[in-house]
Amino acid sequence: GDSVTQMEGPVTLSEEAFLTINCTYTATGYPSLFWYVQYPGEGLQLLLKATKADDKGSNKGFEATYRKETTSFHLEKGSVQVSDSAVYFCALYTGGFKTIFGAGTRLFVKA
Protein backbone atom coordinates (compact mmCIF):
# COMPACT_ATOMS: atom_id res chain seq x y z
CA GLY A 1 0.00 0.00 0.00
CA ASP A 2 0.89 3.66 -0.13
CA SER A 3 3.29 4.84 2.55
CA VAL A 4 5.57 7.67 3.62
CA THR A 5 8.87 7.30 5.45
CA GLN A 6 10.60 10.27 7.00
CA MET A 7 13.73 10.62 9.06
CA GLU A 8 13.43 10.09 12.76
CA GLY A 9 13.86 12.98 15.09
CA PRO A 10 14.44 14.90 17.00
CA VAL A 11 16.62 17.10 14.87
CA THR A 12 18.46 19.76 16.87
CA LEU A 13 20.08 22.69 15.09
CA SER A 14 21.50 26.06 15.98
CA GLU A 15 19.88 29.17 14.60
CA GLU A 16 20.91 29.95 11.00
CA ALA A 17 21.94 26.35 10.32
CA PHE A 18 20.87 24.50 7.16
CA LEU A 19 17.98 22.09 7.52
CA THR A 20 17.21 18.91 5.64
CA ILE A 21 14.44 16.51 6.63
CA ASN A 22 14.34 13.44 4.41
CA CYS A 23 11.11 11.97 3.10
CA THR A 24 10.59 9.05 0.73
CA TYR A 25 7.34 7.55 -0.42
CA THR A 26 5.80 4.45 -1.95
CA ALA A 27 2.70 4.93 -4.02
CA THR A 28 0.80 3.53 -6.96
CA GLY A 29 -0.07 6.13 -9.52
CA TYR A 30 1.06 9.73 -9.35
CA PRO A 31 0.64 11.20 -5.89
CA SER A 32 0.61 14.79 -4.77
CA LEU A 33 3.14 15.40 -2.01
CA PHE A 34 2.90 17.68 1.00
CA TRP A 35 4.74 18.98 4.00
CA TYR A 36 2.60 19.91 6.98
CA VAL A 37 3.91 21.66 10.10
CA GLN A 38 2.60 21.40 13.64
CA TYR A 39 3.62 24.15 16.06
CA PRO A 40 3.39 23.42 19.79
CA GLY A 41 -0.19 23.18 20.99
CA GLU A 42 -1.69 23.55 17.51
CA GLY A 43 -3.08 21.42 14.74
CA LEU A 44 -1.25 20.58 11.53
CA GLN A 45 -1.17 23.18 8.79
CA LEU A 46 -0.01 22.98 5.22
CA LEU A 47 3.53 24.24 4.70
CA LEU A 48 4.01 23.46 1.01
CA LYS A 49 3.02 21.01 -1.68
CA ALA A 50 3.92 19.72 -5.13
CA THR A 51 1.52 17.97 -7.45
CA LYS A 52 3.75 16.50 -10.15
CA ALA A 53 7.28 15.33 -10.78
CA ASP A 54 10.00 18.02 -10.73
CA ASP A 55 7.65 20.56 -9.16
CA LYS A 56 9.16 22.57 -6.33
CA GLY A 57 6.96 23.66 -3.45
CA SER A 58 8.10 26.60 -1.35
CA ASN A 59 6.84 28.68 1.54
CA LYS A 60 8.37 30.69 4.42
CA GLY A 61 11.88 29.89 3.18
CA PHE A 62 11.23 26.16 3.07
CA GLU A 63 11.53 24.21 -0.17
CA ALA A 64 10.96 20.66 -1.36
CA THR A 65 11.29 19.17 -4.85
CA TYR A 66 9.18 16.25 -6.07
CA ARG A 67 11.71 13.66 -7.30
CA LYS A 68 9.96 10.79 -9.04
CA GLU A 69 13.17 8.93 -9.89
CA THR A 70 14.16 8.69 -6.22
CA THR A 71 10.58 8.79 -4.85
CA SER A 72 11.62 11.56 -2.51
CA PHE A 73 10.37 14.93 -1.29
CA HIS A 74 13.04 16.22 1.08
CA LEU A 75 12.36 19.42 3.03
CA GLU A 76 15.10 22.06 3.12
CA LYS A 77 15.66 25.50 4.56
CA GLY A 78 18.83 27.50 4.23
CA SER A 79 18.77 29.24 7.61
CA VAL A 80 16.48 28.07 10.38
CA GLN A 81 15.10 30.26 13.13
CA VAL A 82 14.00 29.45 16.66
CA SER A 83 10.43 30.01 15.51
CA ASP A 84 10.79 27.04 13.10
CA SER A 85 10.82 24.65 16.05
CA ALA A 86 7.91 22.33 15.35
CA VAL A 87 6.99 18.87 14.13
CA TYR A 88 7.11 18.39 10.36
CA PHE A 89 4.99 15.79 8.57
CA CYS A 90 5.53 14.54 5.05
CA ALA A 91 2.34 13.33 3.37
CA LEU A 92 0.99 12.01 0.09
CA TYR A 93 -2.37 11.95 -1.62
CA THR A 94 -3.14 9.64 -4.54
CA GLY A 95 -6.67 10.67 -5.36
CA GLY A 96 -8.48 8.47 -2.91
CA PHE A 97 -10.31 9.90 0.02
CA LYS A 98 -7.49 10.15 2.49
CA THR A 99 -4.02 11.56 2.89
CA ILE A 100 -1.18 9.31 4.10
CA PHE A 101 1.00 10.99 6.73
CA GLY A 102 4.51 10.13 7.82
CA ALA A 103 5.42 9.71 11.47
CA GLY A 104 6.59 13.29 11.86
CA THR A 105 10.03 14.75 12.59
CA ARG A 106 10.48 17.04 15.55
CA LEU A 107 12.81 20.00 15.00
CA PHE A 108 14.42 21.96 17.82
CA VAL A 109 16.26 25.17 16.92
CA LYS A 110 18.55 26.65 19.59
CA ALA A 111 19.29 30.35 19.82
Partner 1 sequence: DAGVIQSPRHEVTEMGQEVTLRCKPISGHDYLFWYRQTMMRGLELLIYFNNNVPIDDSGMPEDRFSAKMPNASFSTLKIQPSEPRDSAVYFCASRPGLVSHSETQYFGPGTRLLVL
Residues that bind partner 1 (CB under 8 A): 32, 34, 41-46, 49, 51, 89, 93, 97-99, 101, 103-104
Instruction: Using the Cα atoms of residue 86, residue 82, residue 45 and residue 31 in order, give the sign of their dihedral.
Output: negative
Smaller CB distance to partner 1: residue 46 or 78? Answer: 46
How does DSSP assign 3-24, residue by residue?
EEEE--S-EEEETT--EEE-EE
Residues 85/109, Cβ–Cβ less than 8 Å: yes
Residues 43/86, Cβ–Cβ less than 8 Å: no
Smaller CB distance to partner 1: residue 53 or 103? Answer: 103
Q: How far is the CB of 46 from partner 1 (least distance, A)?
A: 5
Smaller CB distance to partner 1: residue 84 or 104? Answer: 104
Q: How far is the CB of 61 from partner 1 (least distance, A)?
A: 20
Residues 34/90, Cβ–Cβ less than 8 Å: yes
Smaller CB distance to partner 1: residue 1 or 111? Answer: 1
